[in-house]
Each structure stands twice: as C-alpha cells, then as structure tokens.
Amino acid sequence: MFDPETTEQGDLREGRPPWRKAGATPDFRSPARNLRCDVLVVGAGISGALMADHLTARGHQVCVIEREQAGFGSTLASTAMLLWEIDRRLGFLTERFGFERAANIYSHSLRSVAGLAALVRDRGLDCALRARPSLYLAAGDIGAAELRHELALRQRAGLPGVFLDHAALRRDWGIEREAALLSPGAAEADPLLLAQGVLHAAAQGGATFFKAEAVRYESLGRRAGVVLASGHEIEAGAVVLATGYVLPDIVTSNLHNTGASWAVATPPQPPSSLWRDRALIWEASENYLYARTTSEGRIIIGGEDEDGMGKREDRAACAPAKAAALIAKLAALYSRAEARAETIWSGAFGTTQDGLPLIGEVPGHPRIFAAYGYGGNGITFSYMASRLVARMIAGEREAWYDDVAIDRAAP
Ligand SMILES: Cc1cc2nc3c(=O)[nH]c(=O)nc-3n(C[C@H](O)[C@H](O)[C@H](O)COP(=O)(O)OP(=O)(O)OC[C@H]3O[C@@H](n4cnc5c(N)ncnc54)[C@H](O)[C@@H]3O)c2cc1C
C-alpha cells in the first residue's frame, strides 16, 4: 500500500509522486445496514474504478467498497506509462502459448490502450492523458538481433513499430544503446486523476460508494456475499475483487508474486533537454528501467525492483540508495538532462511469472471474479480486466480467457 506521508532527506523528498492533487471524488459513506446490489466491486484503485464505470454503463447497479482512500494504493505510486507492449516479449509468449494465442493477447493489449484513451475522451476526463510512442531499448542479453526477431514477430501479428539501430538512437535520441524498437499506440496519464475521474464518471452513472473493508467472501449459489469488518453484509449477483497486490485468501495462484518498484522525478527541465517525442522508454530486461516525462517537463525514471517489500517503512529505508542508483542510470542513459532527483517514491504491485494478468472467476467460488497480477502493464491490464469480467458476468466466454485464467499452469 502506498502511504502518502512524506519525509525530507536532504534535498530529496521521499514519499510523494508528482501527480496533481485529487480532483472531485465520490462520497464514500460507511454502510449503516446490510446491502444488496447487482455487482459489488472491492477496491477503488484504477482497476476497481474501471470495473465500476464499465459495469454501471452496462446497466448494472454497482456498489464499490474501499477500506482506505480511493486511488491511494499502487495506483498513486504508478508512473502511468500506458504501454501495450507486455512485460514479456511476444517471442517469450509465443514459446509459451504458440504464435496465434500470443499474438492475440498482444492485440488485445494494443486495443486496451486505445480503449482507455477513448474512454478518457468520451467521459471528458482531465487526467493529462497524452498519446506517446514507446522506445523499447536493447538491454542485457537482448541485443539488436533479438529485437529484430521480436519486430518480425510483431509485424506478423499486425502490430506496429520500427527498428532503430545504434547510429539512429545516438543521432536522433541522444541515447547510447545497441538498438531499440519504436512503436506508436502508447500513452501516459496522471494515474490519480485518471482513477478519480473514472470513479466520478461511475458515480454519475449511478454507482454507489462505501468506506468499508471486506473480510470474508462467500459464494451463495447464483449470488455471492461479502462480510465487512463492521459486521454488515453485502449480497450481490457478482463480486469483483480489485484489491491490488493484496490477494484475499480465496485467491491462490502459483504464478503470483509481490514486487516493489521505486521511481524518482527530476526538477522540470527545459523542453530542449527532453528526448524526442517525449517517448515512454523502457528496457528489454527482466527488472527493467522505465522513464517518461510529465506535463511539467519533469523526467520520471523508475525501476530497481525487488521481490516482496510490501511494507512502506522497509521501502522508505532504501529510498536514498535507490534514488542515487536511478539517477546514475538516468545520467548514463541520457546525458542532456539535469540528472537530479527532487522526489522519490515507491509502491508494491503484483506480478506474474508469465507477465500476463490473472483475470476470471475465482476457482471454487462461483460468482466471485478477480483481477490481479498486473506487473508493469498494470493500467492497460486493469482496462482489459474490466471488459473481460463484464463479459464473464454476462455469461459470455472466449477461448483466450484461459490464457489469463487464475488457475493456469506456471510456465
Ligand atoms: C512504482 C510503480 C510504478 C508503476 N508504473 C506503472 C506504469 O508505468 N504503468 C502501468 O500500467 N502500471 C504501473 N504500475 C502498476 C500499477 O500501478 C498497478 O498495476 C495498478 O495501480 C493496480 O491498480 P489496482 O486498482 O489493481 O490496485 P490498487 O491501486 O492498489 O487499489 C487496490 C485498492 O483496494 C483496496 N483494498 C484492498 N483490500 C481491500 C479490502 N479487503 N476491502 C476494501 N478495499 C480493499 C486498497 O485500499 C486499494 O485502494 C506501477 C506500480 C508501481 C508500484
């Protein structure tokens, strides 16, 4: 859980991402009695927000419960690079699933970013959403040959992108790397404004919001129930779990891990110091570095991921060392900017071994659905999950849902 507490460590502010202060959020009241609704969404981060908005738009009577502050989980810590490229390359997923299935998942991911951008436009949300290309850099064992192979697979799958060699990267981008793939179709946003804007849209559509903690889940034949810490109960036609990296006991997966990531923001830079097209930059390695710019012209650079580290105080203790490491990596990656950290923050998030989310009905718990394990594509997969779960609640099924099933086998 991200904690918005901040501390000063010399010139470095620890704990607060550079996102804009909250806009209007729906009113979260404590429930005073037992409740019934069509769909209960547990958790009001970006996943719960997108679920609530979409299910409301489909005509369901939706309740959302949140035990802390809406949007202040992993969502606030997010650097909100809305990538359609998945943490695992198409080549990796092709080995795991075969080309057709892997290409299908990549295409759904591409459509999810486009769908999210269209939603922001349709709802008129002010969340600093901008279309950006992504620059996927060679790193570690993944060099120019591997990126050419990846691009060939992507092209076969009908996905966009071009190859950049070392000379082009140095000349046009000021970046010293062996090669990169440059792809259109990504975007950036302010994650807090995005989540709160989507929650607000759901409220306007008729969703209702409660400050409450779910402590027990029950399947009741064709309905499901949730017991709250207050002792009240909510019965619903379906329950959707969107509690971020915190998996309740009923959801087990041998693919899921919890990781933590750190990010720093520099002071605002003059436009001439920012890289071309203000692309979203990330690396072709497992614990990759990622970077973007903000509407104020700051550079955000993140990474230095570690397994576990769910506790904020453990992460805070590492902050100065993580800030120094990230700034050194920024200076090595791109020398035209002022490489100085003004603020550092961290957050925990769920990941999976194969880089794909865990979306679907919880095995053994009919009418309880879950959306977890998002990794670096968190927000793209949150959008995908909202569309899939809505169809699953309606009883619709497509073969590829098995590729993201909660009980799929480990690679
Ligand atoms: C440093 C960092 C950088 C990241 N960068 C990116 C990025 O660039 N792009 C990207 O797409 N993704 C990124 N991610 C991942 C992304 O932030 C997450 O995948 C996403 O925010 C998850 O949203 P969520 O709504 O599922 O979870 P959360 O935002 O954590 O929301 C879950 C909510 O559920 C509530 N909750 C939990 N249990 C209960 C309960 N029992 N009862 C009631 N409420 C409960 C919590 O209080 C919380 O508010 C990053 C993550 C981190 C930490």
Q: Is the CB of 250 under 6 A from ligand 1?
A: no
pLDDT digit string (tens) for the chain, length 411 residues: 344 456 666 667 778 899 987 677 899 999 999 999 999 999 999 999 999 999 999 999 999 999 999 999 999 999 999 999 999 999 999 999 999 999 999 999 999 999 999 999 999 999 999 999 999 999 999 999 999 999 999 999 999 999 999 999 999 999 999 999 999 999 999 999 999 999 999 999 999 999 999 999 999 889 999 999 999 999 999 999 999 998 999 999 888 888 899 999 999 999 999 999 999 999 998 778 999 999 999 999 999 888 876 677 888 888 899 999 999 999 999 999 999 999 999 998 888 988 999 999 999 999 999 998 777 789 999 999 999 999 999 999 999 999 999 999 877
Ligand 1 atom 16: residue of nearest CA: 378
Strand, coil or helix: 21: coil
Which of 78, 113, 196 has most ligand 1 atoms within 8 Å of its beta carbon, as the pocket-test mutant? Answer: 78
- Measure 100 CA to ligand 1 centroid, in angstroms: 30
- Measure 78 CA to ligand 1 centroid, in angstroms: 8
Looking only at the bridges linking them, the beta strands covering 81-82 and 162-165 are: unpaired
Q: Is the CB of 43 under 6 A from ligand 1?
A: yes
- Measure 383 CA to ligand 1 centroid, in angstroms: 13
Ligand 1 atom 25: residue of nearest CA: 45
Ligand 1 atom 2: residue of nearest CA: 78
DSSP string, 237-250: EEEEE--TT---TT
DSSP summary character for residue 142: B
Residue 341 vs residues 80, 176, 212, 234, 298: alpha-carbon distances, Å: 19, 22, 37, 46, 10
What pLDDT is stored for residue 6 in this prediction?
Answer: 60
Q: Is the CB of 393 under 6 A from ligand 1?
A: no
Q: Is the CB of 47 under 6 A from ligand 1?
A: yes
**What ligand 1 atom has the least distance to the C-alpha of 49?**
25
Q: Is the CB of 378 under 6 A from ligand 1?
A: yes
Structure-derived torsion over alpha carbons of residues 303, 309, 310, 312, reported in degrees to the nearest 10: -80
Which of 84, 301, 349 has most ligand 1 atoms within 8 Å of its beta carbon, as the pocket-test mutant? Answer: 349
Question: What pTM value is reported for the model?
Answer: 0.96
**What ligand 1 atom has the least distance to the C-alpha of 248?**
41
Ligand 1 atom 51: residue of nearest CA: 78
- Measure 44 CA to ligand 1 centroid, in angstroms: 9
Ligand 1 atom 37: residue of nearest CA: 243
Contact 301, 326 (CB under 8 A): yes
Contact 227, 215 (CB under 8 A): yes
Looking only at the bridges linking them, the beta strands covering 130-137 and 7-9 are: unpaired
Q: Which two tokens stand for residue 30?
A: 């404590």
Q: Where are the alpha helices (DSSP H) in 7-143?
A: 46-57, 74-77, 90-97, 99-123
How many other C-beta atoms can be found within 10 angstroms of the C-beta atom of residue 394?
Answer: 11
Q: Is the CB of 17 under 6 A from ligand 1?
A: no
Give the domain ranges of the chain.
Answer: 22-77+192-252+355-404
Q: Which of 67, 65, 68 is nearest to 49 (CA)?
A: 65
**What ligand 1 atom has the least distance to the C-alpha of 215?**
41
The CATH architecture of the domain made up of 22-77+192-252+355-404 is: 3-Layer(bba) Sandwich (3.50)
Q: Is the CB of 243 under 6 A from ligand 1?
A: yes
- Measure 76 CA to ligand 1 centroid, in angstroms: 8
Q: Is the CB of 259 under 6 A from ligand 1?
A: no
What pLDDT is stored for residue 3 in this prediction?
Answer: 43
CA distance 251 to 232: 22
